[in-house]
Chains A and B, each alone.
Chain A
Amino acid sequence: MSKSYNILIVGIGGQGTILASNILGEACLIEGRHVKGAETHGMAQRGGSVESHIRIDGMFGPLITPGTANLLISFDLLEALRYSHYVKKGGKMVVNRHLVLPTSVFTQNLRAITKDEIIIALKTHSLCLLDADKMADDAGSALSQNVVMLGAASPSIPLKPESLLDAVRRLVPKKTIDINVKAFELGRVYGGTC
């Protein structure tokens, strides 16, 4: 098996997982490293559960297999649990403390899982929980949540923070560069503490 660093980014269609994966890919290019990835497109994006696979230094296939992700970045608590079997032993999880209950809970009257139940279940891994919504607001826009998440995960990612920041500058809309740089830095400071 090849020595790639595997990152799985999960969330709900529309939360900006694809931009986060693009930033990682761009940072790999900046460092002249190979990268492979795969993501959800099409109808599945309509509010459904979505996943982006990124294999830094990946030379072969784009998919991460269960039990081989070094890092899981989740934009939602429930999605973190849904994909937790992808994380390898000793792998890390960076998870937004936010929970959107799926509409199925209400329409099919399923038992609503609570934040605390999910957090207990996730604690079998090295877990970094953060309030990305609030930190994004502090940075200046709720839309920068995905960059906050990347920042928080960045101490674990084998890419230089300068490369990641450079990639952020290249890929976010021009008007929002300052907000997103701040979002990354707020996330990174927090991520360094957990």
Chain B
Amino acid sequence: MRCMVASTKSMAAGTAVKPMTADAEEEISALEFARVVETHRPQIFRFLLASLRDVDLAETLTQECFLKAHRNWKHFRGDSSAMTWLMRIAINLQKDHWRNRRLQFWRQTQANAVGIEEASEWLPNGERNAEQQILARERVAQVWKAVEGLSERQRTVFLLRYVEERELAEIAQATGLSEGTVKAHLSRALGRVRAELRGTR
């Protein structure tokens, strides 16, 4: 993606090719954005689903994320990867959502979030036997339980690392935290998961 953005910028600067018209530039930009949506939408949705455990809400926030990204696409300079940029938008949207929910404590917001048990039911049928599957399900439920007890930041960092498999530097960029803070959050989150697994081991 970074290459694509860079190529667009160099084309815009264009020394060898004819200078592009505004319409052509817009067309290329729209095509690029369409490709970004196609590539990263499932990942953003997955991250929001893991954060919220609510399919409808994750879908809504994913749409909002790409809408926001579309509005600001021309300002995206390519300093970070498009994925990191999108992830940052998604994290901010999620923060706004929680803040609004806290403020609206007097209003019963629609809660479609599924419980830990239901979330743990989702396991691919591998080559395992029934006993292994039950054990795997139990462990997934324990991790969900630990994740539920994490702070918002810890949860975000944990999910970005162990579900989205992002590098620490990327997580730091997406969350706006320093790498040291990210490591500290990650360590605490892992400690929680360990304690949860140990508690029933």
- Chain A partners chain B: no
Residues of A within 8 A of B (CB): none
Residues of B within 8 A of A (CB): none
